Chains A and B, each alone.
Chain A
Amino acid sequence: MSAVASREDSSRAEAGFRFALLLPGAVVTLLLVVFALVMVVFLAFRINDGSLLGAGFTFFNFLSVATDPLNWTVTLRSLTIAALVTAATVATAYPVAYYLAFHAGRRRGLILFLVTLPFWTSYLLRVFAWKVVLAYNGVLNSALVGSGLLSEPTLALLNTPAAVVVTLAHAYAAFAILPIYVALETIPRSQMEAAADLGARPWTVFRRVILPCSMPGVLAAALVVFVPTVGDYVTPALVGGPSSTMIGSLIQAQFGKANDWPFGAALAVAVMLVILCVVLIARGADRRFGSRT
């Protein structure tokens, strides 16, 4: 009798433990992720009447997202900037990841720490540092004038889309190294040795074995750089000027000055759809390269 009771007790305790284990994560993810995102989508279909959740049901917000030429300009600019930043980041990070995987030796730990450290320092300060570099009376201008390359400071450095690309590529540099490094690290050494044994030159081994095998890492790197840059707000605001407004600034304006939350929500849904497309394309490409994840 008592054995049965204690077994019942312990199974109740086990169930309680499992419940307690699931509770915090379930509350946080279901409320803060799922419910909050559902509310954004819901709001995107509402009419702006000044109240928190709007009124009625409408496709008008999406219609104006799709038909306003300003939105197209800004969206295309955001996609172009994010694509350029992604390409620049991945291309410059790849050799670093390659060195880490095959040549770093005892210095690997130190280099890994050095390239990931900026990730843990203030993003705002890193962008601000570029403003200091590019400003009219800033570091680059004073250096160019001081060295006689320019007779007077130029305005052409700050407040341009190019400044946004450089700053973002620099700010997200570290994001790309880690996924590529992990992918290179997990390539079986025997495959590379087999290729070399069969007479492939180092360049051929790289092109035919290492590069295709590291593509899942390259795609993951592209994704983690593309997603935050396409919706970035801080960098265009600090170093971009009016000629490089991005979609993040447009969304922010709807929740700020313009005070049209449903339209802002529709813009946000559009951005999430674009990101979803990019994720699906990346996943499709990943499968083509024979995903190992």
Chain B
Amino acid sequence: MSGSTTGSEAGRWLGVYVLVYILFLYLPVSLIPIFSFNDSIQAAFPLQGFTTAWYSTLLGNSALSGALVNSLAVGFVAASAATLCGITIAYADLHGRSSFSTAISNLARLPILIPGVIVGIALLILINLVGLGPSRTAIVFGHILVALPTTVVIMRGRFSAIPKSIPEAALDLGASDFATFRRVMLPLSLPAIGSAFMLAFLISFDEFIVAFFLAGTEPTLPLYIWAQLRFPKSLPTVMALGTVILAGSILIAAAAELLRRRGLSGGARHALPATA
């Protein structure tokens, strides 16, 4: 910004590029809400007139509401478990000082490097082996695994941003390891925990491929949408449903981002007296 004239001019052109990039990023997905209000079964321009009829087809659909309940239940349980694992794995990694906890932390981030199809078949074999079979519980296990790298990365980032002097002070004053964790480190990380939980919930709520392998007779919402995509007639209903899901996802992601930022600035505020 404080560069030479040529530098700021290059910056302006880059700014235009970024604007176009972001527009292109949002253009295809923005068609979903646009056509969800379009009074036609075809998703094509020109638009045919405004209607909210497709939204009313969402109400009173028992298959849809069943899938919604499944998705919410799976998301809540999987996000809770993934957040608990994320907190403990990250804390043990940073404060445990044992090679075992480091290995666990690395393993927990490994699923990033495994395509979803392979996660799906690996867990399909596992759940059949333990006699569970495809079910909602099986999807919960799958989604814990898929969300785990995110929760571990967020919690690691948060715990390592807390100045070492804070837990050291607690330990010097006679607090046990557990008391330090429970009374000092957890309260300082609360916004990050909330953020990790919300993002884990979103990952589970939107996850398709692992659930595709592990679902029994109780589909989640993405599986319901997948089934509807085969019928051209239900296209507008999918658009309306998609709009609701997108709006919900954006709200939750924005809330998680706000929490994460508040957590970071909160940490900086706490850090000041400790470093001064």
Whether B116 lies near A233 (C-beta < 8 A) is yes
Identify which of residues 19-70 in chain A touch chain B, using a CB-to-CB cut-off of 8 Å. Answer: 20-26, 28-37, 39-40, 43, 52-53
Identify which of residues 76-131 in chain B touch chain A, using a CB-to-CB cut-off of 8 Å. Answer: 81, 84-85, 88-89, 91-92, 96, 100-101, 104-105, 107-108, 110-118, 121-126, 128-129
A36: chain B residues at CB < 8 Å are 122-123, 125-126
Known A-B contacts A10-B176, A36-B126, A99-B11; A234 and B209 likewise in contact (beta carbons under 8 Å) = yes
Q: Does B7 belong to the interface (CB within 8 Å)? A: yes
Known A-B contacts A24-B84, A33-B111, A36-B125; A111 and B32 likewise in contact (beta carbons under 8 Å) = no
Chain B binding surface SS class: helix
Whether B18 lies near A111 (C-beta < 8 A) is yes
Q: Does B28 belong to the interface (CB within 8 Å)? A: yes
Chain A binding surface SS class: helix
B253: chain A residues at CB < 8 Å are 117, 120-121
**Bound: A272/B35 CA distance, A:** 40
Known A-B contacts A40-B121, A121-B246; A98 and B14 likewise in contact (beta carbons under 8 Å) = yes
Which of B19-27, B56-64, B158-166, B267-275 faces chain A? B19-27
Best-surrounded residue of B7, B100, B116, B222 (most CB of chain A within 10 A): B116
Total contacting residues, chain B, CB less than 8 A: 86
A96: chain B residues at CB < 8 Å are 17-18, 21
User: A203-217 vs B: 1/0 string, CB under 8 Å?
Assistant: 000000000000000
Kindly identify which residue among B10, B145, B254 contacts A202, using a CB–CB cutoff of 8 Å: B10
Chain A residues within 8 Å of B, Cβ to Cβ: 10, 13-14, 17-18, 20-26, 28-37, 39-40, 43, 52-53, 92, 95-96, 98-99, 102-103, 105, 109, 111, 113-115, 117-118, 120-126, 128-133, 135, 137-139, 141-143, 146, 170, 173-174, 202, 223-224, 227-228, 230-234, 238, 248, 251-252, 255, 261, 264-265, 268, 271-272, 275, 279
**Can you list 17 contacts pairing A with B, beta carbon distance less than 8 Å?**
A13-B176, A13-B178, A22-B100, A28-B148, A40-B125, A99-B11, A115-B21, A120-B253, A120-B256, A131-B229, A132-B28, A139-B44, A146-B45, A173-B25, A228-B115, A230-B115, A279-B113
